[in-house]
Structures are given as structure tokens and as C-alpha cells.
């Protein structure tokens, strides 16, 4: 049972669930959730996909209606190359490497 600001109460459906996702607070312009809110969730950290075959399966499941297989292969290779280059070659005007994240 929850209470609204005007002191009315309402009941949630027994099957009610809330799923949320966010990028880690280490990304630019992001902050950690307040502890009171954070404690209401179960946190799961999922690493970026860097293996070509599982990444291709994921991309294909979302984009196969838009791209032929060759286009999906090129997109996956581009993503993996730019992700690798982001930690070595690419820098902004302040000398910082970009954060390339495709699965967050």
C-alpha cells in the first residue's frame, strides 16, 4: 500500500514489477542514485560485449529488418574498431579519450 501526497492510499497490483536501467555514474554527466532509492533495486552490472560473434547475434536480432547480413557485419566491425580506437587513438580537445558504450 502506498500513500499519495494528499494522504490518499492506493494498492499496487500483486504482479507489479519495476525494471530500470542506467549507465554507471562513471560516465560523463551522470550521478549515483541516492542511497534511499538505490536500496530499492537489485543492481546488475553488465559488461560491454567485445566478442564479435555474440555481438553480431545481438545486433542482428535488433536490426535484421534494416540491414543485410553484410551490413550487420560491417556495423559490428565498425563498433569494435571504434571502441578499440577510443582507448588508444581518439581524444577530445582536452586530451580525454571518449567513452564508447553500445550496451549500456
| Percentage of the chain lying above the pLDDT 90 cut | 19
Q: How many CB atoms are located within 10 Å of the residue 59 CB?
A: 19
Round the average pLDDT of the chain to a whole number and report it: 81
Domain borders along the chain are: 2-86
The more confidently predicted of residues 1 and 7 is 7
Task: List strand residue ranges (DSSP E) for the chain, in order.
Answer: 2-3, 9-10
Long-range contacts of 47-53 (CB under 8 A, 24+ apart): 48/83, 48/101, 48/102, 48/103, 48/104, 49/102, 49/103, 50/80, 50/83, 52/76, 52/77, 52/80
Any idea what the Cα angle at residue 35 is, between residues 30 and 104, rounded to 5°? 35
Instruction: Report whether pLDDT(103) > 50.
Output: no
**Structure confidence by residue, pLDDT tens digits, 54-79:** 999 989 998 988 888 899 999 999 99
Residue 73's pLDDT is what?
93
Residue 27's pLDDT is what?
63
Residue 57's pLDDT is what?
92
Instruction: Report whether pLDDT(101) > 60.
Output: yes
Amino acid at each position: 500500500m502506498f500513500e499519495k501526497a494528499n494522504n490518499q492510499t492506493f494498492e499496487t497490483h500483486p504482479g507489479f514489477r519495476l525494471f530500470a536501467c542506467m549507465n554507471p555514474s562513471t560516465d560523463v554527466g551522470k550521478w549515483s542514485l541516492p542511497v534511499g532509492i538505490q536500496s530499492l533495486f537489485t543492481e546488475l552490472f553488465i559488461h560491454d560485449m567485445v566478442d564479435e560473434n555474440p555481438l553480431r547475434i545481438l545486433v542482428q536480432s535488433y536490426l535484421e529488418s534494416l540491414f543485410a547480413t553484410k551490413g550487420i557485419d560491417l556495423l559490428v566491425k565498425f563498433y569494435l574498431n571504434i571502441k578499440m580506437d577510443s582507448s588508444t587513438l581518439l581524444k577530445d580537445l582536452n586530451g580525454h579519450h571518449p567513452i564508447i558504450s553500445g550496451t549500456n
